[in-house]
Amino acid sequence: MDKFFVIIVAYNGLKWLPKCLTSTKPYPVIIVDNNSTDGTTDYIKSQHPEIILFEQKKNLGFGQANNIGISYALNQGAEYVFLLNQDAYFVDDCLCKMLALMKGNEEFGILSPIHLNGNGTKLDENFSNYLIYSKNSDFYSDYVLNKTKQKVYEVPFVNAAGWLISRNCLETVGGFDPIFFHYGEDENYCQRLKFFDFKIGVAPNFFIKHDRQFRNKLNLQLGSKKYWEKIARSHKIKGANINKSNIGDLEAALQNRKSAVFKSFLKFRFDAVKSYKRELEMLEENIPLIKRSLEINKKPGAHYLNLK
């Protein structure tokens, strides 16, 4: 079997890691810890000394932390890496079977198993949305009509809680773009993968459990820090899409916000002035980053990875 590593980004994940790491045995595992404060690294060192652990002094976010693990794996000669969330668990011999499947389907840069909920009783809610009819007309029909299931169903996107990625894909597309801290980086990566004619697939016969169904859904308050982070992330996802960037729309929005600040000030709408100025600052900061991202990501290469 070709060399591979399971890569897990950990951040205060002690609640899930014992079960996660039990499911990864006997696979080689790399953990990149984003400066956890709940005893995660002590647990790994004492209970799993065989794991390769990279401790960070600050939270790098999902993408940049994964880039560290991916870089190490490729420098060790890995032909594949499997990105696994800290709150996700392999079911049976999922990984070995997926490796064999990808060996015969190298046009797929990413393969994902089916994501179940933490109990394994239902599909993970968000995952099921990636397989709706408009995204793939065969998946549910094959199940309901009891047809022979395809070995792989092609989809335009699947979240990165469980990705098997080939070395060829990583050396062509690169790693995760650092303009994303957390959320959005997997969508951006799938856009870039499509640009270089790789496919994204879901393997219907193999499973992981994604233990997040009891997580509280975040209600964003208008004008809050999280609200503006979501707006900025949306701009980055759309603007940095190398298949169809809307950078022109963002530049037009910037000019519009400049005008809106002035008009609101003349009308003494100072709350509106504050809001427009915040979005204006965000656009002025992010548009140059997005332009640089587009320039880099349109060229093949192991961008954002530290390869020897």
pLDDT-derived band at 295, boundaries 50, 70, 90: very high
Q: Which of 210, 242, 274 is the last residue of a domain?
A: 210
Least confident range from 35-39, 69-73, 254-258: namely 254-258
From CA 97, how far away is CA 94, in angstroms rounded?
A: 5
Closest CA to 207 of 119, 132, 147, 126: 119
Q: Any residues with CB less than 8 A from the CB of 55 and at least 6 apart, and which?
A: 33, 35, 41
Query: Which pLDDT value is given to residue 216?
Result: 63
Using the 3D structure, point to which of 155, 185, 210 is the last residue of a domain: 210
In a domain, 220, yes or no: no
Percentage above 90 pLDDT, the chain? 71
Number of domains in the chain: 2
Kindly state whether residues 150 and 276 are assigned to the same domain.
no
Domain residues for 290?
225-297
Tell me, yes or no, whether 38 and 168 share the same domain: yes
104 occurs within a structural domain: yes
The pTM assigned to this predicted structure is 0.92
- The answer to the question of residue 31 being in a domain is yes
**Within-domain flag for 306:** no
Confidence band for 217, pLDDT divided at 50, 70 and 90: low
Q: Are residues 128 and 260 in the same domain?
A: no
**Domain harbouring 123, CATH code:** 3.90.550.10
Is pLDDT above 90 for 206?
A: yes
Q: Could you give the CA distance from residue 252 to residue 290 in angstroms, rounded to a whole number?
A: 15
Same domain for 60 and 140, yes or no, is yes
pLDDT tens digits, 106-138? 999 999 999 999 999 999 988 988 888 888 889
pLDDT reported for residue 218: 62
Q: Any idea which residue has 């709706």 for tokens?
A: 132
Asked if residue 180 and residue 115 are part of one domain, the reply reads yes
Question: Does one domain contain both 241 and 107?
Answer: no
Look at residues 182, 210, 238 and tell me which one is the last residue of a structural domain.
210
Domain annotation covers residue 215: no
Give CA–CA dist 236/187, Å, rounded: 10
Q: Is 95 in the same domain as 189?
A: yes
User: In this structure, are 184 and 39 located in the same domain?
Assistant: yes
Backbone angles phi, psi at 90, to 5 degrees: -65, 145
**151, pLDDT greater than 60:** yes
- Statement to judge: residues 236 and 197 lie in one domain: no
Query: Do 129 and 79 share a structural domain?
Result: yes
Is residue 287 included in any domain, yes or no?
yes
Q: Are residues 20 and 151 in the same domain?
A: yes
Q: Is residue 82 part of a domain?
A: yes
pLDDT in tens, 52-90: 999 999 999 999 999 999 999 999 999 999 999 999 999
Residue 219 lies in a domain: no
Q: Could you give the C-alpha distances from 300 to 26, 96, 190, 228, in angstroms and in order?
A: 34, 29, 14, 32
- Residues 191 and 273 placed together within one structural domain of the fold: no
